Structure 1
Amino acid sequence: MKQNPRNKSKIYKTVIGMVVFLLLSVVAFRIFGKDSEPLLSRDQATLAVLSEYPGKVDSLKLQAGAYVAELQTEQGRYELKLDGVTGEILSIVLLKRTDESAVQPTPAATPAPSGGAAVTPSPAPTPGGQSVVSEAEAVRLALLEVPGKLDDVDTEIDAAGAYYLVEIHTSDGREAVVQVNAISGHIMSVTWEEPDGDDS
């Protein structure tokens, strides 16, 4: 008689364990399953790109739950990767820089002023009011902040947005890293690196 309640207890524990396992499986499938959240439409993904970076989206492909877009701006052609569900921009890569030495046509070209005065064209206004700063412009801005010789430029992106890290060697032998916002061109920070003691 004493074994019978123990057998029932084991059966109950087994049944409860199987039910808990099935419930956890269903919850895990809903959380991690591909169909748990709907993907953005192509139009929504395009708007997500253009709300962050002005320009023209030339192509948009869905790859493994993420959208890959090619964006043409005044500064060049970029490839952006977006989260297919949230539209968050995961990465941005410069594919081809626009030739900055050539005269850039503006969408609403105005005739040259009479009298031969040189006028620097301003970038065309964009729907979001933002423009992307080119690498060359970021270097120019960094060198205005810290005069010296350019060593290296890196492009970074984080939750706050994209920025350039411009490394500059100064005439007195120090090295500075200037952080330039890739949208506004504002100097975000200047970090002075310790000399490594190598005079070569």
Structure 2
Amino acid sequence: MQFFKKSWFIPTLLTIVILTAGGLYIGSLINKKAPIAADEIRAQLESMYGGTVNQIAMEDGVYKAEMSRSGASYSAEIDATTGSVIALLQTGERKEVVPQVLSEAEVKGIIAEKYSGEVERISLNTGEEVPVYEVKLSKDPKFTKVTVDAITGKTISENAKETIGENVLITKEKAIAIAQKQLKGEVDDVSYEKTNDGGYYLIEIESADDREGTFQIHAISGKVMSVTWDD
């Protein structure tokens, strides 16, 4: 017990304690891992999930990131020293990107640059895999039907038909008038077919009550050779 009463004992003991505590603290600093750089975490997330990291910041040893993927938004938490994903939560609904369809005026402008005919009818058809505009235009002596991609404006197909033959007595306009006596409505299509007896016109008409008929008009006599009704 006399040992503890020595005047040098307590200061020596305190020195040992301080040195030990300091050594442990310095050791903890040395052994502590430095946080991974934010750019590395960003690259890791984008590689893992195939999205885009829009924002990332570190708080209390944890990276918090906002990212988007396939139209949906997510928030993620990542351990700053290990790079492990702690949590991933979808924060926004996936939005379907709908392509912008060209207007009729824009399509007419595209047609006017390529064709000299006058647009008689233009309609949007969304029943195909890709929406298309079906354009019918007059170009004497041709009647041309053009199909245009409604998104890109690119011409998909074009079809020119003869609408009048040589030495016919019945003009296209007369044939249309004869057909419209059978069914009043809008002319959808006109074509001319050559035959040994003078040829004939095929005229498609759609009425206001949605009836559709194709009329075969003889190009010399003007006789209605046949009528076909679409169901």
Length-normalised TM-score, structure 1: 0.40
Length-normalised TM-score, structure 2: 0.36
Structure of greater Rg: 2
With a CA cutoff of 8 Å and minimum separation of 6, indicate the structure with the bigger relative contact order.
1
Greater fraction strand: 2
